Structure 1
Amino acid sequence: MKAMSALTGLLYAALIAYLGGWYQGYWNGNFSLLLLILTTVTLAYWLAERFHFQPARERAAQHLSTSDTQRRAALAAQGIQRVDGDVEGARQEILRQPWWLDWTAGLFPVILIVFLLRSFMFEPFKIPSGSMVPTLLIGDLILVNKFHYGIRLPVINKKIIANNDVQRGDVVVFRYPQNPSVDYIKRAVGLPGDEVAYLNQKLYINGKQIETKSEGEFFDEDPGSMRYRPRFTEKLGATEHQILVYPVPPNPIVKLYDFPYNENCKYTLEGVTCKVPAGHYFMMGDNRDNSQDSRFWGFVPDENIVGRAVLVWMNFGNLKRVGGIK
């Protein structure tokens, strides 16, 4: 028992150290992997409790009760009817689950439910940057539908059951191709086989310019901006949404990294034109001139897709933000 208590204490110390280092930025955490490990470890404790520790405690408690009954019967045979002592308290103490099982086996059902919901159903995210303004603001807490594009195995993200295809205009969470441990959120602009061009702040898909409608100005509260920007309504596929642009074109778009199929992209002073390869997508932020996206680092492979953003469920600084995502 002492060994198990010490082992559990060591595991909790390792968990606290891992979370602390993650919070302090010493390393990138992988919450999916962490949940899988926690589920596996607590399952092992739950099985040990169910088939070993609990039966052992029950046998010990039963032995105590049987011994007490036999002692009382022997004393009664000698004419002693009144016997001091009540073993019920001791029996309950024997049956009591030790802390190291209560904090492991006892947590298994909760952790399992969280693991299943987060892996196959819905996952919460927090918007960390202004690349999707005005659709999503910094601090928005969003919910991502993970089964919309198919069922994927947790951690390795391999699709095992197909569902809906990514549609042009969807707001998608995906693993950043340059660093898959980091999640990004952008809008799907180009589908496999599309030719996507962003020239002179205008978007073209398969040679056709995507029309926009002026919606006045929007005050961008991003600490790096803090200014009014022209706001437009744009329609991609069946999705109508808003975008922001700089009033004056920013610096030319340049390739930041060599990426798979980079030969499919042509960079000029006017912008960039790319042919989307099979099994890949071209993603862009709605804050068009303040977003590092596929224009700069390339295509997103299908295996990097995490899910479709569907809901802002909270923004503690602005409760009016709660609602569906277009």
Structure 2
Amino acid sequence: MTAAIITLTLYFVLSHFGLYLIFKKANLPAWKALVPFYGTYISIRLIQKPVWWIAVYYIPFVGFIVWVGIIVELLKHMGILSYWEHALGVVFTPFYLAYIGLSDQYQWKGHQFVQDYQKSKSREWADAISFAVIAATLIRAIYIEAFTIPTSSMEKTLLVGDFLFVSKVNYGSRIPNTPIFFPFAHHTLPLTESTKSYSELIELPYARLPKFQPVKRNEMVVFNFPAGDTVVVQHQNQTYYQMIRDYGRKKIWNQFDVITRPVDKRENYIKRCVALPGDQLQIKDAVLFVNGKKAFRPEGMQLSYLVKTNGGGFNREDFLDRDITEVRNTQVPNLFEMHLTDENLEYIKSLRQVEKVELASKKLGFYDDGRYMKNPIFPNTDTTSWTEDNFGPINIPFKGEVVDLSLENLPIYEHIIRNYEGHELSVKDGKIYIDGEERNQYTIEMDYYWMMGDNRHNSQDSRFWGFVPEDHVVGKAVFVWLSIDPNRSWGDLNKIRWDRLFKLVHSEDGAYQKAERN
């Protein structure tokens, strides 16, 4: 945080020093450049731009576009017309303004000089493209971003092939941790497997702009994958921590490339927020309970069922029409595993060839069998026998909560203390040490959330890796603007799901409830 504050302070001090020198060359009282707000106003009047530029300048992040415009126009008025020199001025503003202010090579040319300058067609295109890239990058980073749904974890609420917009302003736009990055790339440069698309030269602490609303229970939220802080490059679809549990740390580090990522560059996930800070959550036989009551059950929620038939087959077109897309043969003849909504469950039961349908629920202790992954369910230890269908109860931590620590419950809070809130954690001789001090209590520093997919038996979510910290929350899913069915050919008129175009994501979620702190 200290480095970020020093960097920003130097940026603005040096930038205004450059303005001070330019004001002198423009025969203006140079001291005006050093007066907050007033110096900006004088700069805009000096380049003869409309007064509304001032209002826009102070809109968070949009104001950066105005700042770029001010710099470019000042350079033009100093006789600097080259595209690349303008680019240098924008990227290295504090140093470049000071340089031209101190150099005798550059003098104030005035507004008439700028008016007489005629751009070439290629230059007009270059300026237009540059403006579009800067504007789109800022909008994407701060206001609204387009996402696609690549997996079926939210079926049948959100479908594979849905294209949706996510608002970042509802929960308060998060200031990027890594503000230096390649436009339109998340964490990896295009056409590469592991080349970073961002620089860690400047890393800013967690901060948000004012929010319009808090995260509400049952909203669909985009967030950075909490377990994505460390990544095995060759197996990015698996969590590093599960691979460590399955194969051992030494083997993973010796055989693969392991990298770390800052919070804002971790993979983006979208799930339903089913529990808020202060809630208590439990799952019994695949039924979710929050604060002791049955939780909201989305209309499109799916569960896995074992379907026994008499040997008769199924009609593929009927399945496509009903959007039954996850059907798997088992090793038992005439036994299928299907992921079904309540409506499709009744349809399957009504078929003459179906003899028996039962929920494929995992009982407590299912993963105790060594044939399966090692401790895949949070808190990922041998101390519980929880499964994705029988889980908890567990309390969702909230900011300011004081929790008692013991060796038994430490696995629940370990990631919070060490990874999310940045403290040193160790256990010596049966005692817990935080930042070198023996502790039996800990005060939670952030709010946390519990996220689950609507496709409950085909979703990697909080049941596997735990709480989602508030600083990982990206935004709120708003609406689907396009939906393409991957199971249909392009010659099929139903390839585009016409009924989903411009569909509001939150129109069918039911009433929201406020969190109640226990």
TM-score (norm 2): 0.39
Give 2:386's aligned residue.
Answer: 268
Cα distance in 2, alignment partners of residues 214 and 114 from structure 1: 35
- In the TM superposition, what whole-angstrom CA distance separates every residue of 1:253-285 from its partner, at most 9, and x where no partner exists? 7853877xx79x954366211211110000000
- Mapping for residues 193-204 of structure 1, pairs under 5 Å: 193-204=278-289
SS at match of 1:178: helix
Residue identity over aligned pairs, in percent, reads 29
Distance 1:126 1:227, change over 3 A: farther
Match of 1:315 among 468, 477, 483: 483
Question: What amino acid is the match of 1:171?
Answer: M
SS at match of 1:281: strand
Distance 1:149 1:267, change over 3 A: farther
Q: How far is the alpha carbon of 1:110 from its aligned partner?
A: 1.6
Give 1:295's aligned residue.
Answer: 463
Q: How far is the alpha carbon of 1:197 from its aligned partner?
A: 1.1
Structure 2 portions without partners, runs of 5+: 1-63, 82-116, 179-205, 229-262, 303-321, 330-335, 344-356, 368-373, 399-446, 485-495, 507-518
Cα distance in 1, alignment partners of residues 342 and 281 from structure 2: 19
Distance 1:166 1:232, change over 3 A: farther
Give 1:115's aligned residue.
Answer: 137
Cα distance in 1, alignment partners of residues 281 and 449 from structure 2: 10
Distance 1:232 1:56, change over 3 A: same
SS at match of 2:209: strand
Give 1:221's aligned residue.
Answer: 325
Distance 1:57 1:182, change over 3 A: closer
Distance 1:52 1:199, change over 3 A: same
Q: In 2, are the aligned partners of 1:175 and 1:184 still within 8 Å (CA)?
A: yes
Q: In 2, are the aligned partners of 1:151 and 1:163 still within 8 Å (CA)?
A: no
Distance 1:214 1:105, change over 3 A: closer
Q: In 2, are the aligned partners of 1:229 and 1:247 still within 8 Å (CA)?
A: no
Q: How far is the alpha carbon of 1:188 from its aligned partner?
A: 0.4
Q: How far is the alpha carbon of 1:121 from its aligned partner?
A: 2.2
Q: In 1, are the aligned partners of 2:301 and 2:456 still within 8 Å (CA)?
A: no
Distance 1:315 1:169, change over 3 A: same
SS at match of 2:176: coil
Q: How far is the alpha carbon of 1:175 from its aligned partner?
A: 0.4
Match of 2:219 among 162, 170, 190: 170
Cα distance in 1, alignment partners of residues 327 and 456 from structure 2: 17
Cα distance in 2, alignment partners of residues 309 and 131 from structure 1: 15
Cα distance in 2, alignment partners of residues 216 and 146 from structure 1: 25
Match of 1:231 among 338, 341, 363: 341
Q: In 1, are the aligned partners of 2:277 and 2:448 still within 8 Å (CA)?
A: yes
Give 1:36's aligned residue.
Answer: none
Q: In 2, are the aligned partners of 1:138 and 1:222 still within 8 Å (CA)?
A: no
Give 1:135's aligned residue.
Answer: 157
Q: How far is the alpha carbon of 1:159 from its aligned partner?
A: 1.2
Match of 1:161 among 196, 210, 214: 210
Cα distance in 1, alignment partners of residues 141 and 358 from structure 2: 38
Q: How far is the alpha carbon of 1:189 from its aligned partner?
A: 0.5
4+ runs of 1 displaced by more than 6 Å? 213-217, 223-227
Q: How far is the alpha carbon of 1:163 from its aligned partner?
A: 2.9
Q: How far is the alpha carbon of 1:49 from its aligned partner?
A: 5.7
Question: What amino acid is the match of 2:278?
Answer: G
Instruction: Judge which range, 163-172 or 200-209, deviates more.
Output: 200-209
Q: How far is the alpha carbon of 1:211 from its aligned partner?
A: 6.9
Cα distance in 1, alignment partners of residues 395 and 375 from structure 2: 15
Match of 2:270 among 185, 189, 194: 185
Cα distance in 2, alignment partners of residues 214 and 168 from structure 1: 16
Cα distance in 1, alignment partners of residues 473 and 376 from structure 2: 22
Aligned length: 239
SS at match of 2:134: helix
Instruction: Judge which range, 272-281 or 133-142, deviates more.
Output: 272-281
Q: Looking at both structures, which has the greater relative contact order when contacts are Cα pairs under 8 Å and sequence separation is at least 6?
A: 1
Cα distance in 2, alignment partners of residues 172 and 230 from structure 1: 23
Match of 2:448 among 270, 280, 295: 280
Structure 1 portions without partners, runs of 5+: 1-39, 59-93, 234-244
Question: What amino acid is the match of 1:325?
Answer: V
Distance 1:320 1:211, change over 3 A: closer
Bigger Rg over Cα: 1
Q: How far is the alpha carbon of 1:247 from its aligned partner?
A: 2.9
Q: In 1, are the aligned partners of 2:274 and 2:451 still within 8 Å (CA)?
A: yes
Match of 1:249 among 352, 361, 367: 361
Question: What amino acid is the match of 2:480?
Answer: V
Q: How far is the alpha carbon of 1:117 from its aligned partner?
A: 2.3
Distance 1:230 1:315, change over 3 A: closer
Distance 1:50 1:297, change over 3 A: same
Q: How far is the alpha carbon of 1:315 from its aligned partner?
A: 1.1
Q: How far is the alpha carbon of 1:200 from its aligned partner?
A: 1.2
Cα distance in 1, alignment partners of residues 301 and 219 from structure 2: 24
Q: How far is the alpha carbon of 1:51 from its aligned partner?
A: 4.4
Question: What amino acid is the match of 1:318?
Answer: R
Q: In 2, are the aligned partners of 1:221 and 1:227 still within 8 Å (CA)?
A: no
Distance 1:311 1:215, change over 3 A: closer
